[in-house]
């Protein structure tokens, strides 16, 4: 468990290959679920909920009064923590707001971009193994800031058929329109295609397990998705200057999420690497979710040794992790070398956990190497942008010859005539 090895090309290639293997293996099974929900609607959703979650339901929607009661009855310290987190998350995301804009040209023509919120979105909040009220805030508040009027939340029920009260309380605080106690690929399919009980949405956001991620990819095109946000990942780059137990704690914090979670250290300091490994093994035994932690570290835990810090940063960029920690003496000095990370945590006093809950930036982040081309969830995920063109007669007369020349070069005679006809009748 948590093998120490040199960060050679073969090792990195194998890690990257295994990263996608589970999802590929689940694709066919997920496709069957998506197709079944599309064809049979609620009946299929309820059957899969019974099969996978062991819960027999007659309907999925959680009554609105249950959300209000969850908030009313929440312990005061949790209520205070959720309100603090909500304030920080909302303040951060308000800085991402885009506005419509317009530019007037020399002959009175106007071009611009219209920015408007999506009409209805679905947010997936993980459940089953644990409750994640923080994920409710991270998914819902950017949508609320964007102005989305309808937000449908789906989350797996517990064994008693209910949704965790802290999750419902967070949904009430954030302003969710409706909550459905259903998870997995069947929830994603229901949001995409709609059922009698769950109306379809325009876009689906939120992290989930390998089945949820595969389902989101398969319904993309029918609806939008934010990103393939699957099992959690952390890569800790260390120079040996920070306490080994800090790195160990952060590895364990990611490993306890899911057996598929990644927990990786990259360092040129072999002595520190060994100290981190020993600290992990000592601390893992006392964790309540040690079975999950053990599975994650066994299958996806690595300590990679490099020649020096520049190589360590290059390896981290190659892995393109969801979370990148720079557990080094001078983190700002290395920030310019960061490539391909969902979020970066600088220095020994900024563990991933503060970003998970209270710092403000979104914790719904690209995983599986998609940080090479995806960004964190944000307000921009909940708006659509529409180009706008208005031309005056003078502007069209000015531009018509160039438009016609380009159109004819592309073999599109009707395009050329569309502008020339207007010029002739002005």
Residue 198 lies in a domain: yes
Residue 176 lies in a domain: yes
Residue 199 shares a structural domain with residue 129:
yes
DSSP state of 240: S
Residue 413 lies in a domain: yes
Summary mean pLDDT of the chain: 95
pLDDT (0 to 100) of residue 26: 84
pLDDT in tens, 55-93: 999 999 999 999 999 999 999 999 999 999 999 999 999
Instruction: Write down the H helix ranges in 54-146.
Output: 64-73, 76-94, 133-146
pLDDT (0 to 100) of residue 398: 95
Catalytic entry in 93, 257, 300, 323: 323
Catalytic entry in 22, 233, 256, 322: 322
327: domain CATH number is 3.40.50.1980
Model confidence at 130, in pLDDT bands (50, 70, 90)?
confident
Residue 188 shares a structural domain with residue 56:
yes
Rounded CA-CA distance 402/382 in Å is 37
Provide the number of structural domains found in the chain. Answer: 3
Model confidence at 109, in pLDDT bands (50, 70, 90)?
very high
Domain boundary among 183, 211, 227: 227
Residue 235 shares a structural domain with residue 333:
yes
Residue 217 shares a structural domain with residue 235:
no
Q: Is 323 marked active-site?
A: yes
Quick count: other Cβ atoms within 10 Å of Cβ 105? 15
- Let me know: does 167 contact 395? Beta carbons within 8 Å: no
Residue 29 lies in a domain: no
Residue 351 shares a structural domain with residue 413:
no
Residue 221 shares a structural domain with residue 285:
no
Residue 198 shares a structural domain with residue 256:
no
Residue 415 shares a structural domain with residue 362:
no
pLDDT in tens, 323-334: 999 999 999 999
Domain boundary among 205, 227, 249: 227
Residue 82 lies in a domain: yes
> How far is the CA of 190 from the CAs of 201, 225, 383, in angstroms?
9, 14, 22
Domain boundary among 227, 259, 284: 227
Residue 32 lies in a domain: no
pLDDT in tens, 197-248: 999 999 999 998 889 999 999 999 999 999 988 789 999 999 999 999 999 9
* Enclosing domain of residue 279: 3-23+231-372
Residue 218 shares a structural domain with residue 292:
no
Model confidence at 424, in pLDDT bands (50, 70, 90)?
low
User: CA torsion sign, 301 to 237 to 24 to 133?
Assistant: positive
Residue 214 shares a structural domain with residue 236:
no
pLDDT (0 to 100) of residue 16: 83
Residue 35 lies in a domain: no
Residue 16 shares a structural domain with residue 47:
no
Residue 88 shares a structural domain with residue 196:
yes
Residue 282 lies in a domain: yes
């Amino acid at each position: 468990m948590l093998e120490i090895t040199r960060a050679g090309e073969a090792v990195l290639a194998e890690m990257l290959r295994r990263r996608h293997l589970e999802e590929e293996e689940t694709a066919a099974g997920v496709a069957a679920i998506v197709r079944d929900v599309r064809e049979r609607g609620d009946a299929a959703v309820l059957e899969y909920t019974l099969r996978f979650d062991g819960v027999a339901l007659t309907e999925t929607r959680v009554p609105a009064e249950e959300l209000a009661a969850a908030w009313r009855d929440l312990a005061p310290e949790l209520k205070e923590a959720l309100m603090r987190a909500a304030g920080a998350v909302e303040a951060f995301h308000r800085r991402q707001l885009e506005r419509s804009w317009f530019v007037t040209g020399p002959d009175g023509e106007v071009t611009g971009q219209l920015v408007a919120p999506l009409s209805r979105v679905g947010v997936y909040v993980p459940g089953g193994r644990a409750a994640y009220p923080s994920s409710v805030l991270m998914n819902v508040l950017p949508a609320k800031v964007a102005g989305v009027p309808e937000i449908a939340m789906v989350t797996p029920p517990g064994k008693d058929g209910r949704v965790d009260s802290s999750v419902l309380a967070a949904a009430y605080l954030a302003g969710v329109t409706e909550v459905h106690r259903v998870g997995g690929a069947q929830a994603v399919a229901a949001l995409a295609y709609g059922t009698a009980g769950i109306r379809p949405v325009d876009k689906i956001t939120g992290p989930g397990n390998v089945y949820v991620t595969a389902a989101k990819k398969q319904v993309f095109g029918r609806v939008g998705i934010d990103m393939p946000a699957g099992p959690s990942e952390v890569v800790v780059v260390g120079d040996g200057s920070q306490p080994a137990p800090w790195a160990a704690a952060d590895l364990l914090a990611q490993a306890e999420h899911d057996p598929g979670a990644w927990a990786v250290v990259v360092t040129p300091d072999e002595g520190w690497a060994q100290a981190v490994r020993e600290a992990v093994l000592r601390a893992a035994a006392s964790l309540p979710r040690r079975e999950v932690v053990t599975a994650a570290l066994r299958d996806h835990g690595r300590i990679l040794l490099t020649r020096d810090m520049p190589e360590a940063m290059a390896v981290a960029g190659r892995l393109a992790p969801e979370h990148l920690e720079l557990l080094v003496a001078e983190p700002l000095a290395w920030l310019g070398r960061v490539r391909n990370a969902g979020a970066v945590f600088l220095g020994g006093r900024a563990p991933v956990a503060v970003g998970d809950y209270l710092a403000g930036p979104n914790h719904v982040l690209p995983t599986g190497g998609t940080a090479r081309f995806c960004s964190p969830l944000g307000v921009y995920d909940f708006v659509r942008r529409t180009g706008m063109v208005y031309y005056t007669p003078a502007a069209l007369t000015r531009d018509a010859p160039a438009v016609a020349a380009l159109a004819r070069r592309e073999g599109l005679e009707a395009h050329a005539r569309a502008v020339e006809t207007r010029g002739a009748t002005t």
